[in-house]
Amino acid sequence: MRTLSNQMKLVFQSRSANESFARSAVSAFVAQLDPTVEEIADIKTAVSEAVTNCIVHAYQEQIDQIYITSAIYDDKSIVIKIRDRGCGIPDIAKAMEPLYTTCDTGERAGLGFAVMQSLMDKVRVTSKPGKGTTVVMERRIVSKGAKHV
Ligand SMILES: Nc1ncnc2c1ncn2[C@@H]1O[C@H](COP(=O)(O)OP(=O)(O)O)[C@@H](O)[C@H]1O
Ligand SMILES: [Mg+2]
């Protein structure tokens, strides 16, 4: 059993300006594990994709809250939970298929979940239509010489 070493929580509005705030805040928190530049870049990209989904899909035209919890465990893994109380996803398996998108403006490639899955060790999605969606992503920091937390 791994033990929780540290945790942070963020609540912010679903404005696109907050997408870079969220990924920077999470990466600043992860920095205490002394990750490589690549590890940080991967985590930032995955957080960006999940937060963008809350902004553009979950809440669409309205502004509401996005909740992030990041937890660091003693095995140097980071678990990031990104939650919204938006429209929800009726078929999660389908939504996670590469190239699947409900956006019909041609602006989205339908690769957000595929990117999250390729950059993180684990991605779990739970959702209730009308209630919201939670994405939980996990990545173990393996860089050498990492500081003890
Ligand atoms: N937080 C969310 N709330 C509601 N629907 C979502 C959410 N995240 C993803 N989706 C749905 O899953 C689909 C696939 O997401 P994604 O792989 O990121 O592709 P894209 O964002 O390019 O459409 C979206 O088009 C949307 O229908
Ligand atoms: Mg997306």
Q: What is the pLDDT of residues 80-90, one digit of tens each?
A: 999 999 999 99
H runs (alpha helix) in the chain: 17-30, 37-53, 92-95, 112-119
Pocket of ligand 1 (CB under 6 A): 49, 53-54, 57-58, 84, 86-89, 95, 100-103, 108-113, 133
pLDDT given at position 63: 98
**What pLDDT does residue 72 have?**
98
Closest CA to 9 of 27, 21, 26, 30: 26
Q: Is the dihedral of CA 93, 68, 87, 128 positive or negative?
A: positive
* Residue located via tokens 């590890």: 39
**How many Cα atoms are found within 13 Å in the side-chain-facing hemisphere of 48?**
13
pLDDT score for 108: 83
CA atoms within a 13 Å half-sphere pointing along the CA-CB vector of 21: 12
State the maximum Cα–Cα separation within the chain, in Å, rounded to a whole number.
Answer: 47
- What is the model's pTM? 0.95
pLDDT at 144: 67
Ligand 1 nearest-atom number relative to CA 113: 17
SS3 assignment, position 146 = coil
CA of 114 to the centre of ligand 2 (A): 9
Q: Are 52 and 112 in contact (CB under 8 A)?
A: yes
Q: Whose Cα sits closest to atom 4 in ligand 1?
A: 58
- What's the Rg (C-alpha) of the chain? 15
Share of the chain above pLDDT 90, in %: 89
Atom 25 (ligand 1) nearest CA = 101
Confidence of residue 117 (pLDDT cuts 50, 70, 90): very high
- Concerning whether 49 is annotated as a catalytic residue, the answer is yes
Structure letter (DSSP) for residue 142: -
- State the residue for tokens 């942070």: 8
Predicted confidence at residue 105, as pLDDT, reads 80
User: What is the percent of the chain with per-residue pLDDT over 70, rounded to a whole number?
Assistant: 96
Kindly report the number of other CB atoms within 10 A of residue 135's CB atom. Answer: 26
Q: Tokens for 118?
A: 């390729």
Q: Stretch 104-118: mean pLDDT, rounded? A: 90
Pocket test for ligand 1, best of 14, 45, 57, 60 (most atoms within 8 A of CB): 57
